[in-house]
Amino acid sequence: MLKAAALGGLGLGGLGLAGCSEERPSPPRRPPTSPKPATSPKPTGPADWNALERGLDGRLVRPSDSSYKEARRLYIPRYDRVRPAGIAYCETPQDVSECVAFATVKRMPVAVRCGGHSYAGWSTGTGLVIDVSPMDAVKRDGDRATVGAGTRLIDLYDKLADDGVGVPSGTCPTVGVAGLTLGGGLGVTSRAYGLSCDVLEAVQLVTADGRVLTCDAQQSPDLFWACRGGGGGNFGVAVSFTFRTHEVGDVAPFSMRWPWRKAADVVRGWQRWAPAAPGEVWTSLHLDTGPDEGTPSIEVAGLALDGASGHMERLTAAIGADPASSTAQSRPYMDAMKFMGGCAGQSVEQCHGEGALPGQRPGGAFPRTEYSGKSHIAYRPLPDEAIRALLSRFDKGNDVQNRSVLMDAMGAAIARTGPGDTAFPHRKGLFCVQYLAPDDAWLSATHGAMEPYLGGAAYVNYIDAGLKDWAHAYYGPNLDRLRKVKAAHDPGRLFRFPQAV
């Protein structure tokens, strides 16, 4: 997950078509388009942009629209230059079906968008952007929650916390539940409750032929499996998710800092302790160049569900050196999620991006940030030589501000699911390493320096346009099955981008 501090302050610094359940638009608001078998694209759809606009419940933004400049933006500003032909804010699954039919007839490229946080900018393009943001209802029913695919993480946490429950998900408040869940979903409670895709019970998906399918363990099980870690934008447009929930109470965020001269000890001790620690505690090791030029920093940020002090003591013992400073404070769950997400003390409204478009709020204050990311999944601890190589990336001459390496502990509940049980394959990973920087050169050099020690496994949610052999890196042994699901449900490859399955 992303270090919130780098984005405005942490405060602490996842075969076979039988059994598909299909739902039709009801009642039809436009001439109904007849569904076809999954192996052939829908031949009819709106004839032009005006017809598409008339057929949508939601809003269609075109280049002549005053809100086009804002509507085309993603989270990362470098993609502001991309100019879609149209952005459809879909209010219903039927809106999505209409967009799919239009794009098929027009042979127009499609990009699917939720929170717009794709590192590679693959939720926009020059054709039609299908934005699911207006579908953001969150409804709790017993120990299940049905969540509109356009929901932002801050709203997921907020609406469920009101009922004293939660779903394990990511940290950044403006990230979309769709992109995150479809790629897996690592979060601060994942060691206790699993990845977001692990608590997914069902997903409603609009497929390339325009049908609205409910996919779960019984219905369309192949698609359901693929949607649990197979990556966003590959198999259809998700319109709603049903998650199992867990109860929430007070939790304790904590932070521990050591002087840089102790950095090798901290990395060595943390990587042995953190993946094997109880599921009640999650930690992330942060190496940063900023904010004081020339003074790299090392910090462990964590969240404990059962009190922080015992975990902090055991981590200190594993490292063999007391921290120079540390903080820990028990907080209500929602406060802690804001704190971990970098909007501590702010209102839920403020934890959104600013604006009037779906997904934004007029009083939103969460900033966009310019950077690129790369990742590794570490399957074994770093040897001393690798630790030296990692730390040297923060030496003088490599000390431009805002360069970070974040190591998020895995293990516990994440490892209790098998590599092939969902499409997310990295169940035996010890920790996820994320490299973040505004400059690609440092990022590539740092990632390259660690490759001899960490190999080629990577996290699809930290999608990386420059990654060689990306398909095996993201999907490992699940790749062949994912390709079969893709061929069965999107044979014409309507949903495509440079790293589409």
Ligand X SMILES: Cc1cc2nc3c(=O)[nH]c(=O)nc-3n(C[C@H](O)[C@H](O)[C@H](O)COP(=O)(O)OP(=O)(O)OC[C@H]3O[C@@H](n4cnc5c(N)ncnc54)[C@H](O)[C@@H]3O)c2cc1C
Please tell me whether residue 8 binds ligand X under the rule CB under 6 A. Answer: no
Tokens 């027009």, located at residue:
106
Q: Which is nearer to ligand X, 1 or 386 (CB)?
A: 1
How many residues bind to ligand X according to rule CB under 6 A?
36
Contact call for residues 126 and 85 (beta carbons, < 8 A)? yes
Q: Which is nearer to ligand X, 7 or 100 (CB)?
A: 7
Q: What's the closest the beta carbon of residue 264 comes to ligand X, in angstroms? A: 27
The sheet that has 110-113: what strands, in order across it? 59-61, 86-89, 128-131, 110-113
Q: Which is nearer to ligand X, 340 or 387 (CB)?
A: 340
d(CA 409, CA 162): 28
Q: What's the closest the beta carbon of residue 387 comes to ligand X, in angstroms? A: 24
Tokens 């709020």, located at residue:
361
Cα 2 to Cα 188, 342, 387, 395: the distances in Å are 11, 10, 21, 22
Please tell me whether residue 186 binds ligand X under the rule CB under 6 A. Answer: yes
Contact call for residues 301 and 457 (beta carbons, < 8 A)? no
SS3 273: helix
Beta strands in 51-199 (DSSP E): 59-61, 86-89, 110-113, 128-131, 138-141, 144-148, 165-166
Q: What's the closest the beta carbon of residue 44 comes to ligand X, in angstroms? A: 23
Q: What's the closest the beta carbon of residue 490 comes to ligand X, in angstroms? A: 12
Q: What's the closest the beta carbon of residue 356 comes to ligand X, in angstroms? A: 19
Cα 481 to Cα 3, 21, 424: the distances in Å are 33, 21, 12
Q: Which is nearer to ligand X, 182 or 488 (CB)?
A: 182
Q: Which is nearer to ligand X, 432 or 454 (CB)?
A: 432
d(CA 497, CA 381): 34
Q: What's the closest the beta carbon of residue 405 comes to ligand X, in angstroms? A: 15
Contact call for residues 24 and 212 (beta carbons, < 8 A)? yes
Q: What's the closest the beta carbon of residue 180 comes to ligand X, in angstroms? A: 4
Stretch of 39-47, 117-125, 264-272, 299-307 lying at the interface with ligand X (CB under 6 A) = 117-125
As a whole number of Å, the CA-based R_g of the chain is: 22
Please tell me whether residue 115 binds ligand X under the rule CB under 6 A. Answer: yes
Q: Which is nearer to ligand X, 319 or 430 (CB)?
A: 430
Contact call for residues 88 and 52 (beta carbons, < 8 A)? yes
Contact call for residues 419 and 427 (beta carbons, < 8 A)? yes
Q: Which is nearer to ligand X, 259 or 438 (CB)?
A: 438
Taking residues 132 to 161 in sequence order and writing x for each that binds ligand X by CB under 6 A, - otherwise, the string is x----------------x------------
Stretch of 80-88, 229-237, 240-248, 325-333 lying at the interface with ligand X (CB under 6 A) = 229-237
Please tell me whether residue 269 binds ligand X under the rule CB under 6 A. Answer: no
Q: Which amino acid is at 181?
A: T
Q: Which is nearer to ligand X, 268 or 496 (CB)?
A: 496
SS3 314: helix
d(CA 172, CA 351): 9
d(CA 307, CA 97): 48
Stretch of 33-41, 232-240, 331-339, 417-425 lying at the interface with ligand X (CB under 6 A) = 232-240
Q: Which is nearer to ligand X, 41 or 184 (CB)?
A: 184
- Residue numbers 364-383 binding ligand X by CB under 6 A: none
d(CA 434, CA 284): 10
- Residue numbers 451-470 binding ligand X by CB under 6 A: 461
Q: What's the closest the beta carbon of residue 321 comes to ligand X, in angstroms? A: 28
Q: Which is nearer to ligand X, 134 or 269 (CB)?
A: 134
Please tell me whether residue 406 binds ligand X under the rule CB under 6 A. Answer: no
- Residue numbers 166-185 binding ligand X by CB under 6 A: 170-172, 175-176, 178-180, 182-185
Q: What's the closest the beta carbon of residue 324 comes to ligand X, in angstroms? A: 27
In terms of C-beta distances under 8 Å and separation of at least 24 residues, what long-range contacts does 398-402 make, across chains too? Answer: 398/289, 398/442, 399/289, 399/293, 399/294, 399/296, 400/289, 400/437, 400/439, 400/442, 401/289, 401/290, 401/291, 401/293, 402/6, 402/288, 402/289, 402/290, 402/371, 402/436, 402/437, 402/438
Of 13, 52, 75, 165, the one binding ligand X (CB under 6 A) is 75
Of 86, 166, 187, 358, the one binding ligand X (CB under 6 A) is 187
Question: Interface residues with ligand X (CB under 6 A)?
Answer: 1-2, 7, 75, 111-119, 122-123, 132, 149, 170-172, 175-176, 178-180, 182-187, 232-233, 237-238, 461
